[in-house]
Amino acid sequence: MLRLHVESKSFRTAAGGVLPVLGQIDLTLGRREIVALVGPSGCGKTTLLRITGGLDPAFEGTLAWAAGVMPRIGTVFQEPRLLPWRTVWQNLLLAQRSANLKLASDLLRTLDLSGSRDAYPGTLSLGMARRGAIARAFAIEPDLVLLDEPFVSLDPEAARRGQALLLEAWRARPTAALLVTHDRAEAAALADRILLLGGTPTRVLEEVIVAARARRPAGEIS
């Protein structure tokens, strides 16, 4: 559904210099494929995610969508970014182009947030807020979901639970998804394919195809 070729990507520094971040990177994403980007902090994962979503056009290279049509994109940033003055339920509905109450309530159920429907984001734990952000991303009926370290700094139990629930939401309505993580176990649990990033400037050091059976089976929620 999309094909990205990055020739290079750099940022201008405050001092007026140039910071090279990404080298040559090719990334393709199938319509129902989950691809994980794994690499050390600062290597350019968020930058690559933003380029893929069309949020940063300032790079050398090309980004092409299937049939030339930009997909609908649901994003889950590292910080959940739910509107604090709206309830969880309102956050979902406000994101939708046309209201789909059934989808919104299905997603809250899948992500185990039905009981927090009318709660304000500030009253939720970080894990719940992250799950709310995932529900909102899927509530817009996206073709592509971008997830930037959606379970970072959660305790292992909350992270595993979030991963399993994310996979359930994806299974109900499979989309293309690009997942940034620095946790290889998380990548293996969720992705069809893992790109290990590294080097200077950053490139793909290794591509790992995850065997289907290695992925967490449906319904396994601890």
Binding residues vs Mg ion (CB under 5 A): 46
162 contacts which partner out of Mg ion, ligand ADP, none, CB within 5 to 8 A by kind? none
Q: Which residue blocks in the chain are alpha helix, DSSP H?
A: 45-52, 88-95, 101-110, 126-139, 156-172, 184-190
CB 24 within 8 A of CB 6: yes
φ, ψ of residue 180 to 5 degrees: the values are -90, 130
The correct pick among 42, 156, 198, 199 for binding ligand ADP (CB under 6 A) is: 42
Which partner in Mg ion, ligand ADP, none is near 74 (CB below 5 to 8 A by kind)? Answer: none
Distance CA(181)–CA(186), nearest Å, equals 7
Of 80, 79, 84, nearest to 120 (Cα)? 84
Query: Which residue, 46 or 105, has its beta carbon nearer to Mg ion?
Result: 46
Is residue 200 close enough to count as binding ligand ADP by CB under 6 A? no
Please name the residue that has the structure tokens 């709660």. Answer: 119
Q: Euclidean distance between the first and final Cα of the chain, in Å?
A: 33
Is residue 44 at the binding interface for ligand ADP, with CB under 6 A as the rule?
A: yes
Stretch that binds ligand ADP, among 35-43, 119-127, 183-191, 210-218 (CB under 6 A): 35-43
For tokens 């092409």, what's the residue? 64
CB of 49 or CB of 128, closer to ligand ADP: 49
Phi, psi at residue 84, to the nearest 5°?
Answer: -70, -25
Q: Which does 41 bind (CB under 5 to 8 A by kind): ligand ADP, Mg ion, none?
A: ligand ADP
Binding of ligand ADP by 146 (CB under 6 A): no
Measured from the CB atom, the residue of 43 and 140 that comes closer to ligand ADP is 43
Query: Among residues 11 and 65, whose Cβ is nearest to ligand ADP?
Result: 11
Q: What is the rounded CA–CA span in Å between residue 186 and residue 62?
A: 29
| 46 binding ligand ADP? (CB under 6 A) | yes
Round to whole Å and give the CA distance between 165 and 167. Answer: 5
Binding footprint of ligand ADP on the chain (CB under 6 A): 11, 19, 21, 39, 41-47
